[in-house]
Chain A
Amino acid sequence: MTERIENIRREFTEELSRVSSDSELEQVRIKYLARNGLIGALFDDLRSLPAAEKPAVGKMLNDLKRQAQQAFDDKRSTLEQSRGSREPAPDLTLPGRPRPTGTKHPLTQTMDEIKRIFAGMGFSVAIGPEIETDYNNFEALNFPKDHPARDMQDTFFISKNVLLRTHTSPVQIRTMQRQKPPVREIMPGRVYRNEAVSARSLVSFHQIEGLYVDRGVTFSDLKGTLVAFARQFYSIDVKYKFRPTFFPFTEPSADMYISCFLCAGGGCRMCKFAGWLEILGSGMVHPHVLQNVGYDTEKYTGFAFGMGIERIASLRYGIDDLRMFYDNDVRFLRQF
């Protein structure tokens, strides 16, 4: 019996060593390891042995079975490995499954950044309607009737006294009518001008207005606040200048210029070879405006400013034609 066991062990080892394919391996399994294979048959024979021999031979048989199974498993994984090395590893350079990417409109991005900077200086956001009264849009802002100042803003009328707001400044009036000083708000929104559409002008566009009214607010604070904004928004060492101008609702009024960030003041197409870019209009709130909302002009002073978002964004992103903002070509939008 012991001899048969050793023969089978030798034959098994030899046959296994010759195996080179799955089918040969399967034949070996069926011949030796299957339930009615050669090793299985040895267990059957074990039953007929005398009881005294059974434990020793049984142990030999169990060892054989375990070792054969182990050798078989090893052979199988060797075969699998050798097969694996012939197949390439998974190609990680294949493109990932696509996901859509969203974008914020460049005008919204610009407005958000301006809002963020002013929020840091304590300004809240206020909004108002785009259909406005003549009173809020003009009269309360010290645009007299029959005054050429009204020509500064060509107006779309809805009815005699109702119009599409020409600037975000009526939100100043609404804000001040609603609350007592201190008022520190920025007012983003869409405005309308009755002008021919071109690369440089649109009938509707966006502005951000700012208003700060409190005790002791001076022109000096106006400059400081707007310079702080320009340093954050443009560059920390931006050069600037304020130039007198005229708006009916502020006095003194000032246009703010910064050194051209494309040519650093040397002159280029963007700044029309002036070296300076006009970025916003501003001024001390006119006492008439404060009176119109019932503020005590002896106690309170304030400043206001406004800027056109399309202009700011077009300078910033190098966009020549303002109409691109409203064309919404996704190849344009996806760049932002």
Chain B
Amino acid sequence: MKVSLNWLKDYVQIPLKPADLAERLSMLGLEVESFEDLARKFDKFIVGEVVEKRKHPNADKLTLCRVDVGREKLDIVCGAPNVAEGQKVAVALVGATIPRNQHDPEGGPFVLERAKIRGLESNGMICSEYEMGLGDDTEGIMLLEPSARVGMPLAKHLHAADIIYDVEVTANRGDWLSHIGVAREIQVITGKRAVLPKVKIAQSRVSARKHATIRIADARKCRRYSSRILRNVRVGTSPRWLQDRLSSVGIRPINNIVDVTNYVLIETGQPLHAFDYDTLAGHAIIVKCAQDGDRFVTLDGKERMLNSDILMICDGERPVAIAGVMGGANTEISEQTTAVLLESANFEQGSIRRASKFLGLATDASQRFERGVDIEMTVFAANRAAQLIQELTGAEVLQGVIDVYPVRAKPRRISLRVSRTNAVLGTACTQQQVIGFMKRLNIRPSSVRKDTVVFDVPSYRYDLAEEIDLIEEVARVYGYDNIETKTSASVDFSKPIFFTSPVDEVRSYLIGAGFNEILTDSLQDHESGYLTQERAVEVLNPVSSEASVLRTSLIPGALRVVQNNRSRGQNDLRLFEIGSVFDVRDERLRESVEGYGEEERLLLVISGRVHAMHYALVERQVDFLDLKGEVEALLSKFCLDKYRFISYDSGSALIDSGLAVEINGSYAGFLGKISKSIAERFDIEDDVLVSEFKTAVILKESITEKKLRALPRFPSVRRDLAFIVEATVPQERIEAVIRGTGGGLVTQVRLFDLYVGGQVGAGKKSLAYALELQPLDRTLTDREADEFVGHIVRQVELACGAKLRSL
């Protein structure tokens, strides 16, 4: 919201420098995001007079103007159609910063230079409203009053020696959405009282009540409706001062009636609406809800669909405004308007918010009503507007305010304990101090007991409802800076402090193993979300179709990362991600919301070459066994020998072939190669190998309590065995027989040679194993070892149809 320093000074003295005011307001929670010195903005802008106008010899649409700027006469090339001799205009001199560039779609500022335009020198610029940042008119140059003094700095002429603050109003402080509201906050800083101006109206003898009836049908949604009626109104352009004030806070002047309602809105925060009195059927106002499916054309010319929750202002026959949001086109002020009914009403916050949301229409009025407008402001605002319209147009103001106020608001009283205040803030404030702080906020003590003070809260402070709200006010006025910073932290050792989670250890391990951690978006496009067989969770109101479904797997996101990296020539990738995946499910998981599954996964991805190019290494692409080796290393680190690989059927198009992993009998995840069709979809030519795990299963079975197993005291014995088997016999079967037969004595079985080819015969293969025999209680003799190994050989021969091959 824009706030004018000059305007604020109408209500409160401000003995502060502009920058200090900004800082002090921010430190009270009314954040000043930036402020602008208009005088500086219009540096090198001057009032000029067009004394001569000639056609540009080389361009039809341009004219060459001789402009008197007091000290000298400048030749300026001008493109505006409305320029004419004798006009008083705003001239930017060479070197001025033009606030908005008409030819730039973004409307950014630029510095004016001396230029040749179609062969003629131009020594300045005659500016439009738009270029000056004073309005949206880009059609022609801005015309100043004929009385404007040639040579006067434009800022001075526009009374623009002002500072404009851009403030950010928090959602709880509707009262700040007005100049009087900001002025009251300045009162907190300076102690100098902020007051609204006195209103004086010359009322006619004709009673307003005789000329209109006002009825509130829904007193819950419309809490108060105050009205003034004016006759003999002349609608026209507002005087310069009013236009300037509105423009300075970013409101476009329209006509004197609407401008006054806006002026009072900005002054008091009370939204007003002016109806053309003569268009109101039966000169009646009835406040009631719309019917579902009703349609209504608002001031902006748009037809709006209504519902039965939306409160409407109606006349004797039809709706004429959406209460608290926007007026209707049917009763709009026009040039023909001669009588005006002013609405100054108060609507319930939630109802206006629902209407505004439903309509997708947020206005200056709705924004204020949904935050809460001072219910005691309606009459003042109606009077103030009547006064200004009378001053501007000489209108007749009918006798009296029609004020329908069904349930008078009770003044709010809140008790505050000084002890509690100090207990929450860590301060040592006295009762006197607390009362003093409150007085600055117009919060007056109504009764004072030992520790407790009962305060009367002003009607505009909707945010103050209970003790903690007043404690906050104490903190604000006392100053957050003045509250002690207690840096002696105490640690509570009565409960275990969990700092690292087991998943952190998995992460550290993978980093050590040479993987780069990635983090990808969990919102994906529809197609990616449904690449797995899961029922994906969809967002009802996605920001784009690219982010409309929650991921069911970490794989699609990672493939995107592989694709992006490959497009930048980064093909050798070792990546991992730890993150949640989601699905719709019927059974309830611990912690997740009913109906939805949420599960943390770990994904490993490898692709490209095994290692960077090196003269002493043979270059090759990663394959399934590279990934399997990584998985084996990871699982044996965290789960020792509790995992096993089983056959896997993904049932999805993602994976060609692969293996599933079981840890202690629970399914933990899988590993495999991304299918050709999916890889092609991501423009990936190389193999991509992925392994996705449920981290919970790994962590559940991971070894947390570590106990030392005594190291062997006797030497181990190595024996090598080679078998020839049918090529179709899986290696795993032979290894299982060796281990099974070997019992505890065989501590290691390593396949060190695999040979398929001529020497072993067609359809056969040779597998060579190194066995480590590790006795626990004695040294094994050669004979014992040979006998034991002989037994293993016989079992393998029997179980796998193998033949021992001499090494």
Residues of A near any B CB (own CB < 8 A): 94-95, 97-105, 107-108, 112, 115-116, 119, 121-125, 128-133, 145-149, 151-152, 156-159, 162, 164, 174, 182, 184, 190, 192, 194-197, 203-204, 214, 216, 218-221, 223-225, 227-228, 241-246, 248, 251-254, 284, 286-287, 301, 325-331, 333-334
Contacts and interface: CB of A to CB of B under 8 A. Distances in A.
Contact of A228 (B425, B489, B541): B489
B496 interface: yes
A243 B475 CA distance: 11
A328 B499 contact: no
B647 interface: no
B510 A102 contact: yes
Among the interface residues A94, A184, A224, which one has the most CB atoms of the partner chain B within 10 A? A224
Nearest to A179: B495
Given A224-B489, A228-B489, A329 B565 contact: yes
B31 interface: yes
Contacts of B540: 156-159
B513 A329 contact: no
Interface in B141-158: none
9 contacts: A102-B516, A102-B574, A146-B370, A152-B171, A197-B547, A244-B472, A246-B29, A327-B564, A333-B516
A124 B595 contact: no
B543 A195 contact: yes
A328 B564 contact: yes
Given A227-B485, A244-B28, A333-B516, A157 B521 contact: no
A158 B484 contact: no
B565 A156 contact: no
Given A131-B596, A204-B522, A328-B518, A244 B564 contact: no
Contacts of B494: 182
A105 B518 contact: yes
Interface stretch (B7-15, B373-381, B444-452, B610-618): B610-618
Contact of A130 (B468, B486, B517, B598): B598
A158 B519 contact: no
Contacts, number: 263
B475 A326 contact: no
Contacts of A225: 489
Interface in B466-513: 466, 468-469, 471-472, 475-476, 480-481, 483-501, 504, 507-508, 510-513
Given A105-B519, A121-B489, 9 more contacts: A131-B537, A132-B593, A133-B593, A156-B523, A197-B544, A242-B481, A328-B575, A331-B568, A333-B517
Given A119-B499, A122-B492, A102 B512 contact: yes
Contacts of A115: 499-500
A323 to B, nearest CB: 10
Contacts of A224: 484-489
B469 A119 contact: no
Nearest to A186: B499
A153 to B, nearest CB: 11
A158 B537 contact: yes
A148 to B, nearest CB: 4
B335 interface: no
Contact of A129 (B367, B508, B539, B598): B598
Given A97-B616, A190-B522, A244 B476 contact: yes
Contacts of B480: 219, 223, 241-244, 252, 254
B354 A146 contact: yes
A26 to B, nearest CB: 34
B596 A301 contact: no
Interface string B684-716: 000000000000000000000000000000000
Nearest to B576: A102
B499 A116 contact: yes
B27 interface: yes
Task: Say whether chain B's binding surface is mostly helix, strand, loop, or mixed.
Answer: loop
Nearest to A195: B543
Interface of B: 26-29, 31, 170-173, 349-351, 353-354, 367, 370-371, 423-427, 466, 468-469, 471-472, 475-476, 480-481, 483-501, 504, 507-508, 510-523, 537-544, 547, 550, 561, 564-565, 568, 570, 573-575, 579-580, 582, 591-593, 595-596, 598, 611-612, 614-617
B470 to A, nearest CB: 10
B518 A333 contact: yes
A241 B171 contact: no
B438 to A, nearest CB: 15
Given A128-B591, A203-B543, A228 B27 contact: no
A227 B480 CA distance: 13
Closest A-B pairs by Cβ, 7 of them: A220-B426, A100-B514, A218-B426, A244-B29, A146-B350, A246-B170, A102-B511
B532 to A, nearest CB: 17
Given A246-B29, A333-B517, A251 B543 contact: no
A104 B522 CA distance: 19
A203 B537 CA distance: 16
Contacts of B469: 251
Among the interface residues A97, A146, A221, A330, which one has the most CB atoms of the partner chain B within 10 A? A330
Given A149-B171, A227-B485, A244-B480, A107 B519 contact: yes
A103 B511 contact: yes
Contacts of B591: 128-129, 174
A147 B171 contact: yes
Contacts of B426: 218-221
Contact of B468 (A133, A162, A197, A287): A287
Contacts of A254: 480
A97 B516 contact: no
Contacts of B617: 97-98
A103 B516 contact: yes
Among the interface residues B31, B485, B579, B591, which one has the most CB atoms of the partner chain A within 10 A? B485
Nearest to B512: A102
Contacts of B468: 251, 284, 286-287
B721 to A, nearest CB: 31
A261 to B, nearest CB: 19
Contact of B29 (A105, A145, A245): A245
Nearest to B584: A158
A328 B491 contact: no
A66 to B, nearest CB: 40
B495 A223 contact: no
B614 A203 contact: no
B519 A108 contact: yes
Nearest to A193: B543
Among the interface residues B496, B500, B518, B611, which one has the most CB atoms of the partner chain A within 10 A? B518
Contacts of B497: 119, 122-124
B517 A108 contact: yes
Contacts of B472: 244, 251-253
Contacts of A128: 591
Contact of B517 (A105, A149, A157): A105
Contacts of B350: 145-147
Contact of A102 (B499, B515, B520, B522): B515
Nearest to A286: B468
Contacts of B538: 158
Given A122-B491, A252-B476, A328-B519, A157 B541 contact: yes
B573 A252 contact: no
A104 B512 CA distance: 10
A98 B614 contact: yes
B298 to A, nearest CB: 21
A218 B490 CA distance: 13
B350 to A, nearest CB: 4
